[in-house]
Chain A
Amino acid sequence: MEIIFALITISLCVAVLFLLAFVWAVRSNQYDDTYTPAVRMLFDDPQEEKPAP
């Protein structure tokens, strides 16, 4: 059963990796605005041909 010690250590390390990933996400502004990106992806790309002004 000593393997439990190793397993728990490994699982904790993995969990810490996820925690660090979360911290990275917060630091890179991903939680600053949770609304605009959802809208932004709906915009069409500007059409190529421009009508003569």
Chain B
Amino acid sequence: MNTTAAPIRTATGCAHCGDDCPDEPLRLPAQPELAFCCAGCKAVYELLDANNLCQYYALGEERPGQKIKPVELPGRFDYLDADSVQAQLLSFRSAELARLTLHLPQMHCASCIYLLEHLYQLDAGVTEARVNFLRKEISLSYRPADTSLKAVVTLLASLGYEPQISLAELGAQPHHGSRRLYYQLGLAGFCFGNVMLLAFPDYLSFTDELAHAFGRFFGYLSLVLALPVLLYAAQGFYRSAWAGLRQRYINLDFPICLGLTSLFAVSSYEVLTQHGPGYFDSFTGLVFFMLIGQWVQQRSYDALRFDRDFTSYFPVAVTLLTAEGEKSVSVKELRVGQRIRVRNQEVIPADAMLMRGRGQIDYAFVTGESVPVAKVAGEVVYAGGRQVGEAVELEVVREVSQGYLTQLWNNPAFRKADQPTLETYANRVGRYFVAATLLIAAGAILYWYPRDEQMMWRAFTSVLVIACPCALSLATPFALGSALTVFGRHRFFLKNAAVAETLGRATTIVFDKTGTLTDVQRSAVEYRGPVLSAQEQQAVAAVAAQSTHPLSQRLLQELPASVLSVTDFVEVPGQGLRGVVEGMMVKVGSAAFVGAGAVPTAPANAASPAQGSNLGQSIEQSAGEPEINDPAADTTDNLQSRVYVSLAGDLHGCYRFRNVYRRELGPVLADLGRRYRLAVLSGDNDSEQDRLRELFGPEAELRFRQTPQQKLDYVAALKARGETVVMVGDGLNDAGALQQADAGIALTDTLTNFSPACDAILDAGSFGRFGSFLRFTQDCLQVVLATFVLSFIYNGLGLGLAVQGRFTPIVSAILMPISSLSVMVFATLLVRLAARRRRL
């Protein structure tokens, strides 16, 4: 018995993608010093070399290439030839020129920009390619006479940059971002600068004469300049406050608006009645600083844009069954009564009635529950489900509409009810702020009323003005904005700032086992049974290449590349694959499927001694975990999955997949175990219990043979006990639990693939830093609180002056910008410092 040990990383990295190469890497005859991990990477290198584009490898990251996925479904991009699809994708179209914007989530470094902007060298029909790196978009112009949309997209896909085209993209115009904020910022800055200039004489006593002479002119001019700030630049705050009020809810923007309004009203009154110069400089300055805060927030979110758009999960094209046969049409063209065919793993595009076939609908994207629901002919299936199993025929009962899709997305199952986030924490503070402000203002009136009526009004308005919690509103975006950037740098992407806060408060961390603790792509594969000839191996490879199942994909890495064609291919979900290769029936799958009574005991031979590198392929279900779609579902034991092979009816042998734990697991768990309660949920049996117990320590809870529902229930039970639960999973077969947890982190090897249920994505390569990430979130929370305290000190200082009626324009002009600026600087610097301390 020759067992392939857990793979040891070889020193040679692929010259294209940098992944580890197999023991005998592919090499170029011309440049034997370059090693490649797979034929796909080699092909890309040759293409770039031929076109003199090898600067790609000299820029930015070392070995910037994308691992090339070997699975090419024939006709995958055929729908791009359809006129209706083109009409929606292209932003401009004429006989000479077509233009469109595509989203390429794989873009990650300067080399990508270089390659993509030199696309015209690879396809002469492309006239221009411009990249927007932050949005990961490419704007392409091409001559339809020389090339086609399908050709361009196929080229991109062959380079490893497969565009993400989905329903959301259809009809999408190139992004203009939110320019409104820029206009508001520019206007506020302009007005602030000029008003401050006009207010200058008031700051200095020696210009008293000047102030007397021009006070009126300056006052009116300031009023005129402040007006557009109130009406246009400050719009966002009023909108947000009003939206909150309509839901009977006071958010932080409410006291801000209260302060801004009273500031403007008092200043206008003073100017118009010529009582004084007003506070227009403070007013415009405040709006300007708060807009800067919003801008920082938007920038950090923009850079880490989490495209959770529901419509992204919908297919663009569907197979329509017509009298003339199958036809590929755009989803938006679907009409009630039409017949469509949905194949294994395809998403159901519209509410439809099942006409033929056995439906197994997985609604994980809609409900977070991944156990498929069985449907029989005559039942209605809803859009958003994913068919698992044989191809089914459906009749559309409701057309696809954007509104309906959005409605589905807003399904309560997807919303996390009353999650106390930092935003609402700030809002909660805001509410007390309003109460305290009004109380103090009333107190000032009561105190001054019997003494000095003029002073009473002055104190009252000053209190409202100074209580504007603008510094408070700046604390969160600046502190957590910097934090998100730090995380992004280490390939840990949070959905929003609130997730950082939840992570900081976590008490329990629950891990899914397979795919999370184990590294599926490093699983060792061994072959048992009579040796397969090269021809037989190719036949098996040809069949395995037809399936996207992770085990098939993993198997494919072990086998030689195959050029044989397969006929009569059938994939029986949960069972295996079957196809005819050169007249020979090849079956790959579970023991029962291939007709094996017992494990063959013939001499074994290692199929391939080396560990191939990862596929970069999305792993839909982890090997080794019993799943409905797992070809080896019934043969899972001892962290192993077995795939049997039979050729022409004779059982030949089996491939065994053995998973290994992630390398950084030990140190990370040792670190976490000291600070958190840990738990493991596994769908497997308890054969690994001793090993896990050793890793997790005596206090951790280990649960085995958990169904997705049990995982979800366990997390729910923890939450009911008042724990703040962070769930770490692969985001695919534990979507329910991720959704249920306070913060669900999807650990993934491919960042472009994630579950909508998760709140954060962690690149598997950064798993070793997970402990530091959690410590850092706690630091960030403390920074935010410290900044709150700082801004309260400013407010308290101002209030002290205000109630005494000594809050003059000059005090305001000094105090307000200082408080805003110092909060921004303080928050940013402290977060940076914390990041350095945690070595992030």
Binding site for B on A (CB under 8 A): 1, 4-5, 8, 11-12, 15-16, 18-19, 22-23, 26-27, 29, 31-36, 39-40, 42-44, 46-47, 50-51, 53
Contacts and interface: CB of A to CB of B under 8 A. Distances in A.
B118 A46 contact: yes
Given A5-B217, A33-B132, A51 B52 contact: yes
Contacts of A31: 177, 179, 182
Interface string B300-320: 000000000000000000000
B127 interface: no
A43 B134 contact: no
B296 interface: no
A35 B134 contact: yes
Interface residues of B, number: 38
Nearest to A47: B52
B109 to A, nearest CB: 9
8 contacts: A8-B198, A11-B197, A16-B190, A22-B186, A32-B175, A36-B131, A43-B59, A46-B118
A15 to B, nearest CB: 6
B113 A32 contact: no
A23 B110 CA distance: 29
B760 to A, nearest CB: 23
Contacts of B52: 46-47, 50-51
B133 A35 contact: yes
Contacts of B117: 40, 43
A5 B130 CA distance: 49
A43 B112 CA distance: 12
Residue in B135, B182, B183 whose Cβ sees the most chain A Cβ within 10 Å: B182
Contact of B50 (A1, A40, A53): A53
Interface in B605-632: none
When A and B form their complex, which 4 residue pairs have the shortest distance between CB atoms, in order from nearest? Answer: A53-B50, A33-B132, A36-B133, A22-B186
Interface string B173-190: 001110100110011001
A36 B179 CA distance: 18
Interface string B181-206: 01100110010011001100000000
Contact of B186 (A5, A23, A32, A39): A23
Contacts of B73: none
B132 A36 contact: yes
A46 B179 contact: no
A1 B682 CA distance: 84
Residue in A5, A16, A33 whose Cβ sees the most chain B Cβ within 10 Å: A33
Contacts of A42: 59, 110
Contact of A26 (B179, B190, B198, B221): B179
Nearest to B131: A36
Interface string B125-153: 00000111111000000000000000000
A15 B194 contact: yes
B113 A39 contact: yes
Nearest to A27: B179
A23 B179 CA distance: 10
Contact of B113 (A11, A22, A40): A40
Interface in B213-266: 213-214, 217, 221
B213 to A, nearest CB: 6
B114 A43 contact: yes
B176 A46 contact: no
B133 A26 contact: no
A32 B176 contact: yes
Given A1-B213, A26-B183, A53-B50, A43 B190 contact: no
Contacts of A44: 55
Contacts of B177: 31-32
B381 to A, nearest CB: 41
A1 B110 CA distance: 58
A11 B51 CA distance: 55
Interface in B158-179: 175-177, 179
B819 interface: no
A15 B193 contact: yes
Given A5-B217, A33-B135, A12 B194 contact: yes
Contact of B190 (A19, A34, A39): A19
Contacts of A18: 190
B424 interface: no
A51 B141 CA distance: 27
Contacts of A22: 186, 190
Nearest to A12: B194
Contact of A36 (B113, B118, B197): B113
A47 to B, nearest CB: 6
A46 B121 CA distance: 10
A26 B194 contact: no
A12 B50 CA distance: 59
Nearest to A9: B221
A42 B163 CA distance: 25
Interface string B50-74: 1111010001100000000000000
Contacts of B53: 46
A32 to B, nearest CB: 6
Interface string B791-806: 0000000000000000
Contacts of B176: 29, 32
Given A29-B176, A35-B134, 12 more contacts: A8-B198, A15-B193, A23-B186, A27-B179, A32-B132, A36-B113, A36-B131, A39-B133, A42-B59, A47-B52, A51-B52, A53-B51
Nearest to A29: B176
Nearest to A33: B132
Given A32-B176, A33-B133, A46-B52, A15 B190 contact: yes
Nearest to A52: B50
B55 A43 contact: yes
A4 B135 contact: no
Contacts of B118: 46
Interface in B483-535: none
Nearest to B182: A26
Contacts of A16: 190
A49 B117 CA distance: 20
A40 B193 CA distance: 34
A30 to B, nearest CB: 10
Contacts of A36: 113, 130-134
Nearest to A48: B52
A26 B134 contact: no
B50 A19 contact: no
Contacts of B183: 23, 26
B521 to A, nearest CB: 31
B142 to A, nearest CB: 19
Contacts of B132: 32-33, 36
A21 B175 CA distance: 22
B214 A4 contact: yes
Nearest to A39: B110
